[in-house]
Amino acid sequence: MPASPARRSPEPASEAPRPTAALPRLELRVERLQLVFRFTFAFHAREVRFELAEAVGEAPAAEGATPAGGASTEGATAPASSGPLRFERIFPETFSFNAGRNDPTELFLQLEDLVSKPRLLGPRASARDARNLMIRMLSAAPRYLDGLCRHLEETTRLRPEARLRFHQDVAMLSQILLRFVETHVLDDSRPLRMAGWSLRRRIYQSLRVLLEERVDPDYVEAYVEGRANPVDPSDDPTESGFFQTLETGEPAAVDRMIVRMAERAFYLWLEGVCLDEENQAFEKEDSAFADREREVLRAITVDEGGRIDRSRDLVPYLRRPDRNTARILGKLERWFLRSYDIRHSSAIINHAAALAKGAVSGSRALSWHTPRIHATALAALLAPFLAGTFFYERAPELIDLLCSAEVVLVNAAVVWFLLYRFCWRKDLSFFHASVPRIGAGIIVGYLPVFLIDEVWDLASRPTLALNAVTLLLGLVTLLYIYVEVARRIRDTGVAFARARSIFLLGVFEAFGAGIVMTSLVGPFMVERNWSPEGVETSVAVVRDAMPPMVGQLPHVVGVEGFWVFPSALLLMTFLSFFIGIFLQLMWEELPITEPL
């Protein structure tokens, strides 16, 4: 095993670089008391400061004022003073993230005092003043911390060691604020709920930095493979235990603690917020987040927002073979399907199947659901017929052999799936990744048209009428799908791209199903409906008696036993897909990509 890179551990506070500009601060004005409350995370000194200043005669500044240092308070109210305010500490001792001086419990107790002891704000302060101020501070704190993190990341102000220490302290501070929000019935307003969700994201993002840059890569690999368990009964999982372990613990204990806390933060953020669509955390205008799908992808991918092409693109918590991983992968599969994202849903399905079998490969492609692959596969199925349109009279035997070979290959693929993948290996990942509700709708659509004489009669009509009906069915089907997708996805470009992907997949599946069904029952229907003068004759005689369908392509191609009927296949492909989609949308409230 190769040697692990040198660990990075936090520096003592005395070695941290002093800032060259004023600290970003969160300032809130209390009009009734003519006070300005200031909350500061002094990252260079690792201190959390609560201060007050009198603001008699001050006029409030506009919402969203930007404090010194460049980090926006994003909604906090700051005074527009005519001179510098004189801030004084509220508590005699300033809390510090220093293991030798303070414990995280002390910061929690300071928050308790701020809300329960209004006299700390002044002799005229009431319990309601203290409560309202605490609600405002907790509501604005996540945006303040996010702005501070962005400011420091963009300016590259911290050395690598100081950056790790900073994110360690931010994660701890956010956890204390979150626990205070969740354990105190202060208010049921949306800003406070939004603050709780934002703090969960902040905890996960900061712990993610620690996991990537401080934890031994060999330990992460062992965790992913299931050889290392981050839950050790001897570890203290409390805030104090986490704090003391990261400050003074052994390297092995630090690895376990960071992975354990990061895994917990991952589930609380992804499962508790991102996948809970009832919370409306991402849909309203006041949301502090990007759209829900972008936040989900940021949470589950290594590069925070990229695509899922291979298993290595997923975060370690989704590559570990345990029941929690299987449960969250199932939720992600359903969520992506309900978002009409068949590409990522199939990737999750195939990854979960490989994980269950212990055959995960970091370099193996997980999904074939892309418009390019769909179009290429459909073009491969159409290629013999397109070649026959232009060159059938030059090489009729070759075109017939190619068309019959396609029939054999498609039927062999069906037999391979039914007998080998399903009956022998009991593997349904390919079935679920192929969006079976669409396939089921197509099969239902074939049933009422395949044995109807009028449909076969229409397929033998002149090309103009056949093409007009086919084009109309295709466009109406695409319209139905787009309307359904656009009901959930506001971005019209994304909605149309996903509707197009579903449409191409449906056409491909309908065309393949049509080849199988027409090769089995088609000869009987052709002899019955296409025979000249109402007298049933063989398929070969019918082919010679009928004019070409389009160009040089006959209505019947192939060799005896493996016939293909291009005009009937073209019509039934779009007709069955249209009927299947129509029935899905009219009869059920579920999306057409909903798992069976």
Q: Please write the tens of the pLDDT for every residue from 4-47.
A: 444 444 444 434 444 445 678 999 999 999 999 999 999 999 99
269, 491, 496, 578, 587 from 479: Cα distances, Å: 36, 16, 9, 10, 18
- Which of 162, 191, 198 has the alpha carbon at shortest distance from 177? 198
Q: Is residue 320 part of a domain?
A: no
Q: Is residue 561 part of a domain?
A: yes
Burial class (CB in 10 A: 0-12, 13-18, 19+), 81: middle
The confidence score (pLDDT) of residue 16 equals: 43
Q: Is residue 36 part of a domain?
A: yes
Burial class (CB in 10 A: 0-12, 13-18, 19+), 417: middle
State pTM to two decimals. 0.83
The confidence score (pLDDT) of residue 163 equals: 92
Q: Are 42 and 25 in contact (CB under 8 A)?
A: no
Do 567 and 465 fall into the same domain?
Answer: yes
CA angle (547 as vertex; 476, 532 as ends), nearest 5? 100
Of the candidates 289, 314, 348, which is a domain's last residue? 289
Greatest mean pLDDT among 132-141, 305-314, 556-565 lies in 132-141
Do 70 and 201 fall into the same domain?
Answer: yes
H-run or E-run covering 495: helix 492-529
Is the pLDDT at 238 greater than 70? The verdict is: yes
Spatial distance between the Cα atoms of 485 and 494, rounded to a whole number of angstroms: 9
Which residue has better confidence, 145 or 285?
A: 145
Do 568 and 452 fall into the same domain?
Answer: yes
Is the pLDDT at 60 greater than 50? The verdict is: no
Phi, psi of 319 (to 5 degrees): -115, 5
Q: Is residue 208 part of a domain?
A: yes
Burial class (CB in 10 A: 0-12, 13-18, 19+), 20: exposed
Do 563 and 432 fall into the same domain?
Answer: yes
Do 283 and 377 fall into the same domain?
Answer: no
Spatial distance between the Cα atoms of 430 and 427, rounded to a whole number of angstroms: 7
Do 89 and 214 fall into the same domain?
Answer: yes
Is the pLDDT at 533 greater than 80? The verdict is: no
The confidence score (pLDDT) of residue 59 equals: 43
Do 284 and 392 fall into the same domain?
Answer: no
Of the candidates 225, 258, 289, which is a domain's last residue? 289
What is the mean predicted confidence (pLDDT) over 76-88?
62
Q: Is residue 448 part of a domain?
A: yes
Do 91 and 230 fall into the same domain?
Answer: yes
pLDDT digits (tens, 9 = 90+) for 399-438: 999 999 999 999 999 999 888 888 888 878 888 888 888 8
Q: Is 570 helix (H, G, I), strand (E, B) or coil?
A: helix
Burial class (CB in 10 A: 0-12, 13-18, 19+), 515: buried
The confidence score (pLDDT) of residue 534 equals: 64
DSSP 11: P
Spatial distance between the Cα atoms of 440 and 596, rounded to a whole number of angstroms: 9
Q: Is residue 85 part of a domain?
A: yes
Burial class (CB in 10 A: 0-12, 13-18, 19+), 242: buried
Spatial distance between the Cα atoms of 331 and 335, rounded to a whole number of angstroms: 6
Q: Is residue 138 part of a domain?
A: yes
Spatial distance between the Cα atoms of 120 and 52, rounded to a whole number of angstroms: 9
Is the pLDDT at 550 greater than 90? The verdict is: no
Provide the sign of the torsion angle of the four alpha carbons 230, 234, 237, 239, taken in this order. negative
Do 75 and 224 fall into the same domain?
Answer: yes
Q: Is residue 325 part of a domain?
A: no
Of the candidates 260, 289, 318, which is a domain's last residue? 289
Do 274 and 414 fall into the same domain?
Answer: no
Domain count, the chain: 2
Do 276 and 381 fall into the same domain?
Answer: no
Per DSSP, helices labelled H in 156-250 are: 160-183, 190-213, 217-225, 239-248
What is the mean predicted confidence (pLDDT) over 461-475?
85
The confidence score (pLDDT) of residue 305 equals: 65
Q: Which domain holds residue 388?
A: 371-587
Is the pLDDT at 76 greater than 50? The verdict is: no
Residues 179-189 as b or e (16 or more Cβ within 10 Å = b): ebbeebebbee
Is the pLDDT at 592 greater than 60? The verdict is: yes
Is the pLDDT at 466 greater than 50? The verdict is: yes
Do 388 and 275 fall into the same domain?
Answer: no
Q: Which long-range contacts (CB under 8 A, 24 or more apart) does 5-11 make?
A: 5/217, 7/214, 7/216, 7/251, 8/160, 8/161, 8/164, 8/213, 8/214, 9/161, 9/164, 9/214, 9/254, 10/161, 10/162, 10/164, 10/165, 10/168, 10/246, 10/247, 11/161, 11/162, 11/165
